[in-house]
Amino acid sequence: MSDYIYKRCLQLSISNIVDMGSGQGYLDHILVHQYGMHVVGVDCNHIQTCGAQKQHIKLSNLSDPRLNTNGSLQTLERRIEPHEGFMDIVNTLDTKKWMLCGLHTCGDLAVSCLKQFLESDCSSLVFVGCCYNLLTQFPLSKHFSACHLSQTEKMLACQAPTEWDPSQAVLNYRKHFYRALLQLVLKQETTMDLETAKVGKMPPDAFLNGFVDYATMALSKLNQSVDPSVLEQYLSYYDREKEIAVFWTLRSVMANTIESMILLDWKYFLEEQLPNAKVDLFPLFDQSISPRNMVISCSK
């Protein structure tokens, strides 16, 4: 991503960049110490910003001819909400021409980037979103105004079927089957409110010795108890495990479609607000590096 940002900056004669959700500054260090850019890295996590600054000082003190000494890095610890501006950050720049970027902007941080780009004098925007399950604002565009995504659907958009390990497929399907069967047990053998039945993550050994052992451990987490002899009666459902496997496979196939809806909503939103601007949406790097590889790029 650093190479693409640098080339875009060259095309637009930009040397100043604001990186939203910069974390420990992995992207920023390359932009500063390899390409000589002037970067302001913004992140809400104190540990992350401190780590970024320490690494920058370390790199700045190295006498390595391969490092570019013309760049600079500022780190700011701050949380940016979608409804607020950040002109105080922009005012730290030496120029009015600057780029807003973000690598894996988490949830609503992507929305913040879009809105800040539109409402400020920012010249260019380049970002890759992620963590769609944390989005609270969808849709943004008129194009998708009639659409709604549930929390479950947003969680599904985070799935990456291309990254599935075939050797783990049987175990993963079994986990879903056991949880579905447990739901039936809870409904028929307990008085628990199924809406509040949140088992949470189970240890790996919970799935090694069959459903009865799994159910006993899961029920214990829910402060429920069912006699093992009763649980054994549910083994008659084992021939329906393949139905769960088919369901979860078809469900996961929808992941890319839902992610595409979110990405296109962002693209159309920019195009609606900036009719004369060219908005690019394309895979910036291979999915084997990261499943979230779609970049949105736009210049005013």
Amino acid residing at 24: Q
Torsion 9-14-15-19 (CA) sign: negative
Give me the residues paired with residue 105 across strands. 129
**CB–CB of 73/39 below 8 Å?**
yes
Query: How many C-beta atoms lie closer than 10 Å to residue 231's C-beta?
Result: 21
Q: Residue holding tokens 């979110």?
A: 262
Neighbouring C-beta atoms of residue 93, cutoff 10 Å: 16
- Specify the pLDDT at position 102: 97
Q: Are 51 and 25 in contact (CB under 8 A)?
A: yes
Rounded Cα–Cα distance for residues 42 and 28 (Å) = 10
What is the pTM assigned to this prediction? 0.87
For residue 268, what are its two tokens? 């159309």
Distances in Å between the alpha carbon of 230 and those of 6, 181, 190, 271? 64, 13, 12, 60
Is there a cis peptide before residue 139, judged by omega within 30 degrees of 0?
A: yes
pLDDT of amino acid 95: 67
- The mean pLDDT values, 10 residues at a time, for the chain of 300 residues are 97 95 96 96 94 95 93 89 66 78 96 92 96 96 97 94 82 94 96 90 92 96 95 95 93 93 98 97 91 96
Q: Which of 145, 77, 86 has the alpha carbon at shortest distance from 119?
A: 86
CA distances (Å), origin 171, targets 94, 99, 293: 56, 45, 28
